[in-house]
Amino acid sequence: MEYGKTSLIEYFLRIFFPPRCICCDCVLCVDTTEFVCDGCRKDIPHISRHLFVNPAGDSISNIYCAFDYEKGVRKAIHHLKFNDRPGNAKILVDMSYPLIEEYFAGVPAQLCSANSHDIAVPVPIHSKRKRERGYNQSELIARSIAKKLNIPVIAGALVKIKNTPPQSSLAKDERFKNLEGAFYVKKPYLIEGKRVLLIDDVITTGSTLEQCGKVLLDSGAVCVDAFVIAVRRKLWPADGEI
Ligand SMILES: [Zn+2]
Protein backbone atom coordinates (compact mmCIF):
# COMPACT_ATOMS: atom_id res chain seq x y z
CA MET A 1 0.00 0.00 0.00
CA GLU A 2 1.32 3.39 -0.95
CA TYR A 3 0.81 6.41 1.16
CA GLY A 4 0.46 9.96 -0.14
CA LYS A 5 2.00 12.83 1.83
CA THR A 6 -1.02 13.39 4.04
CA SER A 7 -1.62 9.69 4.56
CA LEU A 8 2.04 9.15 5.44
CA ILE A 9 1.89 11.88 8.10
CA GLU A 10 -1.34 10.43 9.34
CA TYR A 11 0.19 6.95 9.35
CA PHE A 12 3.11 8.04 11.54
CA LEU A 13 0.80 10.01 13.83
CA ARG A 14 -1.24 6.86 14.26
CA ILE A 15 1.89 4.95 15.32
CA PHE A 16 2.34 7.38 18.23
CA PHE A 17 -1.39 8.02 18.81
CA PRO A 18 -3.03 4.78 17.71
CA PRO A 19 -6.75 4.73 16.90
CA ARG A 20 -8.84 3.26 19.68
CA CYS A 21 -12.20 1.54 19.81
CA ILE A 22 -14.74 4.14 20.96
CA CYS A 23 -16.51 1.52 23.09
CA CYS A 24 -13.82 -0.46 24.95
CA ASP A 25 -10.85 1.87 24.26
CA CYS A 26 -8.66 -0.99 22.98
CA VAL A 27 -5.96 -0.11 20.43
CA LEU A 28 -7.00 -0.76 16.80
CA CYS A 29 -4.79 -1.57 13.79
CA VAL A 30 -2.79 1.43 12.68
CA ASP A 31 -4.35 1.47 9.18
CA THR A 32 -7.95 0.68 10.15
CA THR A 33 -10.85 2.77 8.91
CA GLU A 34 -13.10 1.40 11.69
CA PHE A 35 -13.92 3.09 14.99
CA VAL A 36 -15.18 0.00 16.79
CA CYS A 37 -13.28 -3.26 17.39
CA ASP A 38 -14.62 -6.60 16.13
CA GLY A 39 -15.63 -7.62 19.66
CA CYS A 40 -17.66 -4.44 20.29
CA ARG A 41 -19.38 -4.32 16.90
CA LYS A 42 -21.84 -6.98 17.99
CA ASP A 43 -22.47 -4.96 21.18
CA ILE A 44 -23.94 -1.92 19.40
CA PRO A 45 -27.49 -1.80 20.78
CA HIS A 46 -29.70 -1.10 17.76
CA ILE A 47 -33.36 -0.27 18.29
CA SER A 48 -36.25 -0.94 15.95
CA ARG A 49 -37.82 2.54 16.23
CA HIS A 50 -36.11 5.89 16.17
CA LEU A 51 -38.95 8.32 16.86
CA PHE A 52 -40.28 8.91 20.38
CA VAL A 53 -42.55 11.17 22.37
CA ASN A 54 -41.31 12.60 25.64
CA PRO A 55 -42.85 10.93 28.71
CA ALA A 56 -41.91 14.00 30.81
CA GLY A 57 -44.11 16.55 29.02
CA ASP A 58 -45.27 18.00 25.74
CA SER A 59 -42.78 20.79 25.00
CA ILE A 60 -40.88 18.58 22.55
CA SER A 61 -42.78 17.57 19.39
CA ASN A 62 -40.57 14.66 18.22
CA ILE A 63 -37.50 12.96 19.68
CA TYR A 64 -35.14 11.32 17.19
CA CYS A 65 -32.87 8.70 18.71
CA ALA A 66 -30.41 6.20 17.21
CA PHE A 67 -29.53 3.63 19.89
CA ASP A 68 -30.42 2.12 23.23
CA TYR A 69 -28.22 3.37 26.05
CA GLU A 70 -26.68 -0.04 26.59
CA LYS A 71 -23.44 -1.96 26.06
CA GLY A 72 -21.06 -0.44 23.47
CA VAL A 73 -22.92 2.86 23.00
CA ARG A 74 -23.16 3.37 26.75
CA LYS A 75 -19.39 2.85 27.02
CA ALA A 76 -18.67 5.24 24.10
CA ILE A 77 -20.83 7.99 25.67
CA HIS A 78 -19.16 7.39 29.05
CA HIS A 79 -15.72 7.85 27.44
CA LEU A 80 -17.00 11.00 25.70
CA LYS A 81 -18.21 12.54 28.97
CA PHE A 82 -15.76 11.34 31.56
CA ASN A 83 -12.56 10.08 29.87
CA ASP A 84 -11.62 13.02 27.64
CA ARG A 85 -12.66 11.50 24.31
CA PRO A 86 -14.30 14.48 22.52
CA GLY A 87 -13.75 12.76 19.14
CA ASN A 88 -16.37 10.17 20.10
CA ALA A 89 -19.08 12.81 19.50
CA LYS A 90 -18.54 12.98 15.73
CA ILE A 91 -18.16 9.20 15.42
CA LEU A 92 -21.41 8.59 17.33
CA VAL A 93 -23.21 11.07 15.06
CA ASP A 94 -21.71 9.38 11.97
CA MET A 95 -23.02 6.05 13.28
CA SER A 96 -26.44 7.54 14.21
CA TYR A 97 -27.25 9.61 11.17
CA PRO A 98 -27.91 6.83 8.63
CA LEU A 99 -30.38 5.32 11.13
CA ILE A 100 -32.42 8.48 11.68
CA GLU A 101 -31.97 10.27 8.35
CA GLU A 102 -35.22 8.93 6.92
CA TYR A 103 -37.11 10.17 9.98
CA PHE A 104 -35.88 13.71 9.46
CA ALA A 105 -37.17 13.49 5.91
CA GLY A 106 -40.25 11.41 6.58
CA VAL A 107 -42.18 12.80 9.56
CA PRO A 108 -45.66 13.80 8.41
CA ALA A 109 -46.46 17.47 8.10
CA GLN A 110 -46.09 19.14 11.45
CA LEU A 111 -44.51 22.40 12.44
CA CYS A 112 -41.14 20.77 13.14
CA SER A 113 -40.57 18.21 10.44
CA ALA A 114 -38.98 17.18 7.19
CA ASN A 115 -35.63 18.91 7.40
CA SER A 116 -37.38 22.05 8.51
CA HIS A 117 -35.32 22.95 11.56
CA ASP A 118 -33.81 26.41 11.50
CA ILE A 119 -31.22 26.00 14.26
CA ALA A 120 -29.58 23.34 16.45
CA VAL A 121 -29.37 24.16 20.15
CA PRO A 122 -27.26 21.96 22.46
CA VAL A 123 -28.50 21.20 25.98
CA PRO A 124 -26.09 23.31 28.03
CA ILE A 125 -24.04 22.22 31.02
CA HIS A 126 -23.14 24.58 33.86
CA SER A 127 -20.04 26.72 33.21
CA LYS A 128 -18.24 25.09 36.18
CA ARG A 129 -18.75 21.60 34.75
CA LYS A 130 -17.71 22.80 31.28
CA ARG A 131 -14.45 24.18 32.75
CA GLU A 132 -13.76 20.84 34.45
CA ARG A 133 -14.56 18.73 31.37
CA GLY A 134 -13.13 21.16 28.82
CA TYR A 135 -16.15 20.92 26.52
CA ASN A 136 -19.89 20.34 26.44
CA GLN A 137 -20.44 16.94 24.83
CA SER A 138 -23.91 17.98 23.58
CA GLU A 139 -22.39 20.95 21.76
CA LEU A 140 -19.92 18.64 19.99
CA ILE A 141 -22.78 16.33 18.98
CA ALA A 142 -24.79 19.39 17.84
CA ARG A 143 -21.93 20.60 15.62
CA SER A 144 -21.70 17.23 13.85
CA ILE A 145 -25.44 16.71 13.30
CA ALA A 146 -25.98 20.37 12.29
CA LYS A 147 -23.30 20.01 9.61
CA LYS A 148 -25.20 17.08 8.12
CA LEU A 149 -28.50 19.02 8.25
CA ASN A 150 -26.88 22.22 7.01
CA ILE A 151 -28.23 24.36 9.84
CA PRO A 152 -26.35 26.64 12.27
CA VAL A 153 -25.57 25.76 15.90
CA ILE A 154 -26.66 28.35 18.44
CA ALA A 155 -24.64 27.48 21.53
CA GLY A 156 -24.80 30.62 23.65
CA ALA A 157 -28.52 31.33 23.71
CA LEU A 158 -29.68 28.62 26.14
CA VAL A 159 -27.64 28.46 29.35
CA LYS A 160 -27.68 26.44 32.57
CA ILE A 161 -27.66 28.81 35.52
CA LYS A 162 -27.98 26.28 38.36
CA ASN A 163 -25.15 23.80 38.98
CA THR A 164 -27.47 20.93 39.84
CA PRO A 165 -26.42 17.48 41.11
CA PRO A 166 -26.05 15.00 38.21
CA GLN A 167 -29.45 13.65 37.16
CA SER A 168 -27.99 10.12 37.26
CA SER A 169 -27.55 10.45 41.03
CA LEU A 170 -31.27 11.11 41.61
CA ALA A 171 -34.44 9.03 41.76
CA LYS A 172 -36.93 9.40 38.91
CA ASP A 173 -39.33 11.69 40.84
CA GLU A 174 -36.49 13.96 42.02
CA ARG A 175 -35.13 14.61 38.53
CA PHE A 176 -37.77 17.07 37.32
CA LYS A 177 -37.63 19.10 40.54
CA ASN A 178 -33.82 19.15 40.41
CA LEU A 179 -33.93 21.03 37.10
CA GLU A 180 -36.64 23.59 37.91
CA GLY A 181 -35.27 27.03 37.09
CA ALA A 182 -31.97 25.50 35.96
CA PHE A 183 -32.17 26.62 32.31
CA TYR A 184 -32.51 30.13 30.98
CA VAL A 185 -32.63 31.68 27.51
CA LYS A 186 -30.00 34.41 27.66
CA LYS A 187 -30.44 35.58 24.06
CA PRO A 188 -34.13 35.19 23.15
CA TYR A 189 -33.66 37.10 19.88
CA LEU A 190 -31.68 34.09 18.58
CA ILE A 191 -34.57 31.73 19.41
CA GLU A 192 -37.69 33.76 18.56
CA GLY A 193 -39.54 32.52 15.48
CA LYS A 194 -37.18 29.56 15.02
CA ARG A 195 -37.90 25.83 14.62
CA VAL A 196 -35.41 24.36 17.05
CA LEU A 197 -33.62 21.00 17.05
CA LEU A 198 -32.48 20.49 20.65
CA ILE A 199 -29.45 18.19 21.04
CA ASP A 200 -28.38 15.97 23.94
CA ASP A 201 -26.33 12.80 24.37
CA VAL A 202 -28.84 10.65 26.27
CA ILE A 203 -32.51 10.84 27.24
CA THR A 204 -33.33 9.12 30.52
CA THR A 205 -36.58 10.41 32.06
CA GLY A 206 -36.94 13.26 29.55
CA SER A 207 -36.87 15.91 32.31
CA THR A 208 -33.86 17.77 30.89
CA LEU A 209 -35.34 17.96 27.36
CA GLU A 210 -38.72 19.04 28.77
CA GLN A 211 -37.26 21.85 30.89
CA CYS A 212 -35.15 23.09 27.98
CA GLY A 213 -38.08 22.81 25.56
CA LYS A 214 -40.27 24.81 27.92
CA VAL A 215 -37.92 27.80 28.20
CA LEU A 216 -37.26 27.73 24.44
CA LEU A 217 -41.00 27.87 23.70
CA ASP A 218 -41.45 30.60 26.34
CA SER A 219 -38.77 32.57 24.48
CA GLY A 220 -40.66 32.41 21.20
CA ALA A 221 -39.45 29.21 19.50
CA VAL A 222 -42.07 28.08 16.98
CA CYS A 223 -41.53 24.43 17.96
CA VAL A 224 -38.87 22.19 19.43
CA ASP A 225 -37.75 18.71 18.32
CA ALA A 226 -34.86 16.83 19.89
CA PHE A 227 -32.07 14.56 18.69
CA VAL A 228 -30.25 12.28 21.13
CA ILE A 229 -27.69 9.56 20.52
CA ALA A 230 -29.25 7.09 22.93
CA VAL A 231 -32.34 6.41 25.02
CA ARG A 232 -32.28 4.86 28.45
CA ARG A 233 -35.78 3.43 28.56
CA LYS A 234 -35.56 1.58 31.85
CA LEU A 235 -37.23 4.50 33.61
CA TRP A 236 -39.87 5.09 30.94
CA PRO A 237 -43.57 4.30 31.18
CA ALA A 238 -44.73 1.62 28.73
CA ASP A 239 -46.46 4.16 26.46
CA GLY A 240 -43.36 6.35 25.99
CA GLU A 241 -42.78 4.96 22.52
CA ILE A 242 -44.66 5.77 19.35
ZN1 LIG B 1 -14.03 -2.46 21.48
CATH number of the domain residue 216 falls in: 3.40.50
Is the Cβ–Cβ distance between 30 and 13 less than 8 Å? no
Domain-located, residue 182: yes
Q: What is the mean pLDDT of the chain?
A: 86
Q: Are residues 128 and 188 in the same domain?
A: yes
Q: Are residues 112 and 221 in the same domain?
A: yes
Q: How many structural domains does the chain have?
A: 2
Q: Are residues 133 and 223 in the same domain?
A: yes
Q: Are residues 25 and 56 in the same domain?
A: no
pLDDT surpasses 70 at 238: no
Q: Model confidence at 162, in pLDDT bands (50, 70, 90)?
A: confident
pLDDT at 235: 60
45 Cα: distance to centroid of ligand 1 (angstroms): 13
Q: Are residues 163 and 222 in the same domain?
A: yes
Domain extent at residue 12? 1-42
Q: Are residues 110 and 223 in the same domain?
A: yes
Query: Going by C-beta distance under 8 Å and a sequence separation of 6 or more, which residues neighbour residue 88?
Result: 22, 76, 77, 79, 80
166 Cα: distance to centroid of ligand 1 (angstroms): 27
Q: What is the ipTM of this complex?
A: 0.99
226 Cα: distance to centroid of ligand 1 (angstroms): 28
Domain-located, residue 240: no
Report pLDDT digits (tens) over 44-54: 888 888 888 89
Q: Are residues 26 and 103 in the same domain?
A: no
Tell me the percentage of the chain whose pLDDT exceeds 70.
89
Q: Are residues 35 and 104 in the same domain?
A: no
CA-based nearest residue to 91, from 233, 200, 202, 229: 229
Domain-located, residue 63: yes
28 Cα: distance to centroid of ligand 1 (angstroms): 9
pLDDT at 181: 83
